[in-house]
């Protein structure tokens, strides 16, 4: 098993990428703490892991609140004795996130607080725990939009993910000699709730698909597989990486559909 004896904390573990990752990592031997604001969904993932013979606990945590971030890390150490892997994955894409003129300040602030400050707080409280464990792996979920601009604007979301990517690089450099690796996972467009509620018509979906060389949306379990590599010791020389899992979208100038 690729994560035997490891304890992993996954934020946003109740849905999408976080859920698939929790199930996969548990299958690979990790003890899992699922942190989420959605209690029923998070608890359901924990029950699924336990039913399959794994070990997991749920903790209610809003990643944008310092006390909650501290509490989720404490829970991992109390429940399983240590923390080896921190997956700062929780994020939102607000339906009213738009261009600079239209986006309300409260949408900007909420997005930044969860997507960017949430990663900072996870690291603020998680890094001391990783030190106590003798090192570890931090994976921050950014996005392909940290690297590419889109004509369908989501300004706050894009800026927050750019911040996650920049912060990840610096964290990687700061903590490299402490055996703490920090990588940014950059998914392309996925067929998850988060994106589909935003691309809510066939026309909007087609407009996005035309840019993806593979001609399809990714699946959450495909991101979980990449996260597994970054969590495991197989990626022992990988830190500060912009780890793209995007169906080729950032490599494309013209896609096969257009040529």
Which are the catalytic amino acids?
157
Please report, in angstroms and rounded to a whole number, the separation of the first and last CA atoms in the chain: 44
The residue length of the chain stands at 259
Among 6, 14, 125, 175, binds ligand NAD (CB under 6 A): 14
Residues 154-193 close enough to bind ligand NAD by CB under 6 A:
187, 189-190, 192-193
Residues 90-109 close enough to bind ligand NAD by CB under 6 A:
90-92
Strands (E) located in the chain:
7-11, 31-36, 56-60, 85-88, 136-141, 180-187, 242-245
Specify the stretch interacting with ligand NAD by CB under 6 A; choose among 47-55, 58-66, 148-156, 228-236.
Answer: 58-66
* Contact (Cβ atoms closer than 8 angstroms) between residue 82 and residue 135: no
Based on the shown chain and the rule CB under 6 A, indicate whether residue 38 belongs to the binding site for ligand NAD: yes
Q: Which residue has the tokens 């780890």?
A: 243
Based on the shown chain and the rule CB under 6 A, indicate whether residue 69 belongs to the binding site for ligand NAD: no
5 vs 206, which CB is nearer to ligand NAD?
A: 206
Distances (CA, A) of 217 to 112, 127, 138, 163, 191: 25, 33, 26, 24, 5
179 vs 221, which CB is nearer to ligand NAD?
A: 221
83 vs 220, which CB is nearer to ligand NAD?
A: 220
* Contact (Cβ atoms closer than 8 angstroms) between residue 22 and residue 49: yes
Among 148, 155, 194, 252, binds ligand NAD (CB under 6 A): 194
Distances (CA, A) of 73 to 66, 84, 86, 87, 152: 11, 11, 9, 11, 37
Based on the shown chain and the rule CB under 6 A, indicate whether residue 112 belongs to the binding site for ligand NAD: no
Based on the shown chain and the rule CB under 6 A, indicate whether residue 89 belongs to the binding site for ligand NAD: yes
- Give the span between the Cα atoms of 65 and 70, in whole angstroms: 9
Specify the stretch interacting with ligand NAD by CB under 6 A; choose among 6-14, 24-32, 74-82, 200-208.
Answer: 6-14
Based on the shown chain and the rule CB under 6 A, indicate whether residue 16 belongs to the binding site for ligand NAD: yes
**Which residues bind to ligand NAD, rule: CB under 6 A?**
11-12, 14-18, 36-38, 41, 61-64, 89-92, 114, 141, 143, 187, 189-190, 192-195, 220
């Amino acid at each position: 098993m690729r994560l035997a004896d490891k304890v992993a904390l996954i934020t946003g573990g109740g849905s999408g990428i976080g859920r698939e990752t929790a199930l996969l990592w548990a299958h690979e031997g990790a003890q899992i703490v699922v942190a989420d604001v959605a209690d029923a969904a998070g608890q359901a993932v924990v029950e699924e892991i336990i039913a399959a013979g794994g070990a997991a606990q749920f903790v209610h945590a809003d990643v944008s609140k310092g006390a909650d971030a501290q509490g989720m890390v404490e829970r991992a150490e109390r429940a399983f004795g240590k923390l080896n892997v921190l997956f700062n994955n929780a994020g939102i894409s607000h339906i009213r996130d738009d261009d600079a003129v239209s986006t309300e300040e409260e949408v900007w602030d909420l997005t930044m607080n969860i997507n960017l400050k949430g990663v900072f707080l996870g690291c603020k409280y998680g890094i001391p725990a990783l030190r106590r464990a003798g090192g570890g792996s931090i994976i921050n979920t950014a996005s392909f939009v940290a690297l590419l601009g889109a004509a369908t604007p989501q300004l706050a979301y894009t800026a927050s993910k750019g911040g996650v990517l920049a912060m990840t690089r610096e964290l990687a450099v700061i903590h490299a000699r402490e055996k703490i690796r920090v990588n940014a996972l950059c998914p392309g467009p996925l067929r998850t709730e988060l994106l589909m509620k935003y691309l809510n018509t066939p026309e909007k979906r087609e407009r996005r698909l035309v840019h993806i060389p593979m001609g399809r949306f990714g699946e959450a379990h495909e991101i979980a597989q990449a996260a597994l590599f970054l969590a495991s010791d197989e990626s022992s020389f990988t830190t500060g990486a912009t780890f793209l899992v995007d169906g080729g979208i950032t490599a494309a100038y013209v896609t096969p559909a257009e040529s």
